[in-house]
Structure 1
Amino acid sequence: FISTVDVLVMGSNTYAKVLSFGTWPYEVPVIVLSQRDLSVPNELSDKITISKEAPEDLVQRLSAEGNQRLYIDGASVIQSFLSKGLITDMTITVVPVLIGEGISLFGHTEQDIELEHVSSKAYDFGFTQIKYLVK
């Protein structure tokens, strides 16, 4: 999946979580959307950019730079991109853990968002990936 991605866009909470893993798992460029000032470890300064851009401005800039496939990660960031109609398709990975609290992935939406099922794949280790087009 990640080999199809030009740029990964995530929020500050997701960024903090991924940093806590110890080893940075992404080779693609990462943009962290945050209104706060965040620091980037020196060894990752060529892989991570912090941005305060609005989703539509970011998409416009990245498109102008030739990026076609963005991976949007983090509940709040996903919600903001969905509300602006900036997501064309979704790959949702279901992990077999019921969590008691946290940020709802899609939160409140102003209207229903219709999806068209493309494919589903179950993995032996328990994950299921479901692909949809946003209508």
Structure 2
Amino acid sequence: MSIRLSVFIATSLDGFIARKNGELDWLDAANAIVPEGEDCGYRAFMESIDRLIMGRKTYEKVLSFDEWSYGNKPVIVLSRNKIEIPDRLAETVSHSSESPRDLRDRLSKEGAERLYIDGGITIQRFLNEGLIDDLTITIIPILLGSGIPLFSNLKKDISLNHIATKTYDFGFIQLTYEVVNNAKKH
């Protein structure tokens, strides 16, 4: 079985994943209207992955939250620089400065079947390498006007095949796409 690399992320309607300063207050406000017990498929997605790969900025943001939401799921933080890993996370968090392709190849050889790619720059790097297989994007009904975009600095057009659209009564829309002509299929 070949390894799959997946994105599961929320954006504002105008395509931003955070404010310019990295704040997610708008997402916290949106989540406050989500009915208790609804997670928009996140739990099932997390159960389907072997490891999570995120960039340093995303890691540092997640560390600032009250709790670590990934449990014992292995997390690899991509950064050219050394990162601090708290003792409480030393068993599950590791650091890598490998290229996206080298990391994917190593994890595939280690038996990983599905990776969760998270963080704007990290997602863009993996997309530019042709390594992402599918994207699940939950659109939150808010316009931010500016911020950190999910998609920027892409080297070329990336064609997508629509897999599913799910609408939620509380206003979220979830789009799932498969990447067409994925370069990793070689």
Structure 1 and Structure 2 fold alike (TM over 0.5): yes
**Corresponding position of 1:13:** 57
Q: 1:43: Cα distance to partner?
A: 0.5
Task: State the Cα RMSD in Å.
Answer: 1.3
Which structure 2 segments of 5+ residues have no match? 1-44, 181-186
**Corresponding position of 1:92:** 137
Q: 1:24: Cα distance to partner?
A: 0.2
Pairs aligned (count)? 135
**Corresponding position of 1:55:** 100
Structure 1 residues 17, 126: CA separation in 2 closer, same or farther (over 3 Å shift)? farther
Q: Secondary structure at the match of 1:117?
A: strand
Q: Secondary structure at the match of 2:151?
A: coil
**Corresponding position of 2:147:** 102
Aligned-residue sequence identity (percent) comes to 51
User: What is the alpha-carbon distance in structure 2 between the residues aligned to residue 32 and residue 127 of structure 1?
Assistant: 29
TM-score, normalisation: structure 1: 0.93
**Corresponding position of 1:4:** 48
Q: 1:59: Cα distance to partner?
A: 0.1
Name which structure has the greater RCO, CA cutoff 8 Å, separation 6+: 2
**Corresponding position of 2:75:** 30
AA partner of residue 85 (structure 1): G
1:40 aligns with 2:85: yes
Runs of 4+ in 1 over 6 A off after TM superposition: none
Name which of 56, 63, 67 aligns with 2:112. 67
